[in-house]
Amino acid sequence: MINFHPNMQQLDLFVAGNVEPSVALIFSAHIDMCHKCRQKCQKLQQIQSIEALSENIRVATDLSSMLHGITALPQSQDVVVKPSQYKPLELDGKKFELPRTLKRYVQHTGNWSRLVGKLWQAPVDLGYMGKANFIYMENGGKVPEHTHKGTELTLVIDGQYSDGLADYDCGDFTLLDGQHKHQPHSDVDGGCLVFTIVDKPLHFTAGIARLLNPFSHLFF
C-alpha cells in the first residue's frame, strides 16, 4: 500500500509545469502507480484551467481566435511506442514491470553493476534531464548510512525496503535532503527495486562506509 506521496504543493507545481523536468518524471511515474495522486492532479488541472481561462477571457479581445490558438497547439512531443516495443527491465533473469512513464527509459539504461552489500546499480541516461539510477537491493541488501549534499528522490518500483526512518512499499515516493540521515535496506524475499535521482553525490556517514565517500558518485 502506498503511504508516501508528493505533497499537495508539489503536485500543484507539477500540474502547473513548474518543477524540474527530472522531478516531473519521477512524479509522473508515481502518479502512474497511485490513483489518489492521479485524482488530485485531475482536480488541480481543472482548477488551474478554470483560473487560466478566466484570466484569458479577461485579457482576450477575441475569444474564438484564442480557443483556436489553444486547439492548434502542437500535441505532446512523445514518440508513440507500442508497449510491446519496450524491453522489460531485467536483472539476473528477473523481469520488472515498470510504471508507464519509465518504460521508455529501459533502452537508455546501462548495464547492472554489482556493488558491495548485495546491491545492484544500473545508470539511466535521462538526456537533458540528467541521470538517474535503478538500485536493486537483494534480500539482506543494504546501502551504507548516508546523508545528502543535495536532494534524493526515490520511487519504489518493486518490493519493500526500510531505512530507519520508515518502511516503504511499492509506489512510495520520498524526497530527502541534507536534514535526513538514513540507511536503506531490504529484508524481504525478492528484495526491492527503486528508481532514484540525486542531484549531488551522497555523503556516507558511518563506520567503514565513510571510506566509500570517494566512490559516492557510484550512486550519483
40 binds Zn ion (CB under 5 A): no
Region of 56 please: left (phi>0), alpha (psi -120 to 50) or beta. Answer: alpha
11 touches Zn ion by CB under 5 A: no
Q: Which is nearer to Zn ion, 3 or 85 (CB)?
A: 3
End-to-end CA distance of the chain: 28
Written as one string, the DSSP assignment of 143-159 is: PPPEEESS-EEEEEEEE
Can you tell me the distance from the alpha carbon of 173 to that of 23, in angstroms, rounded to the nearest whole number? 11
What is the closest distance, in whole angstroms, from the C-beta atom of residue 2 to Zn ion in the complex?
Answer: 6
Residue 105's SS3 state is coil
Residue 23 or residue 37: which is nearer to Zn ion going by CB? Answer: 37
Total residues interacting with Zn ion, rule: CB under 5 A = 4
Binding to Zn ion, residues 55-84 (CB under 5 A): none
What mask, x for binding Zn ion by CB under 5 A, covers residues 154 to 193?
Answer: ----------------------------------------
Please give the backbone phi and psi of residue 73, each rounded to the nearest 5 degrees, phi first.
-60, 145
When binding is defined by CB under 5 A, the residue of 26, 34, 41, 209 that contacts Zn ion is 34
In the complex, the smallest distance separating the C-beta of residue 194 from Zn ion, rounded to whole angstroms, is: 16
Q: Is-contact 134 125, C-beta < 8 A? A: no
State yes or no: residue 5 binds Zn ion (CB under 5 A): yes
> Where do contacts with Zn ion occur on this chain (CB under 5 A)?
5, 34, 36-37
